[in-house]
Amino acid sequence: MQIELRFFASVREQLGTSQEQVVVPEAVRTVGDVRRWLAQRGPVWGETLAEGRALRMAVDHQIVPADTTVHDGCEVAFFPPVTGG
């Protein structure tokens, strides 16, 4: 399955990339699986996408929980929580 990855704000800055297309392993079925799979790429990826770190995730422009299923051709985005006042 091929998916489009998008990274925004501090996530983009830490990873040094804003987007890429990847083919994910068959075992990767949810947005949480994508996050864990990407975290294995190396120390910077692991720190940036760590399970305990507050991150928002979206599939096809909709904010979703980690157990949301991903599908071929979808866009998966990672970004920090938005704050303001």
**Spans of all domains in the chain:** 2-79
Task: Identify the residue with better confidence: 1 or 82.
Answer: 1
pTM (two decimals): 0.94
Over residues 17-26, the pLDDT tens digits come to 999 999 999 9
Over residues 35-78, the pLDDT tens digits come to 999 999 999 999 999 998 999 999 999 999 999 999 999 999 99
Alpha-carbon radius of gyration of the chain: 12
Task: Identify the residue with better confidence: 51 or 32.
Answer: 32
pLDDT surpasses 70 at 7: yes
pLDDT surpasses 80 at 84: no
- The pLDDT of residue 26 is 96
Q: Alpha carbon of 10 to those of 17, 24, 42: distances in Å?
A: 11, 24, 17
Q: Alpha carbon of 36 to those of 14, 24, 43, 71, 83: distances in Å?
A: 17, 12, 13, 17, 25
- Domain 2-79 is in which class? alpha beta
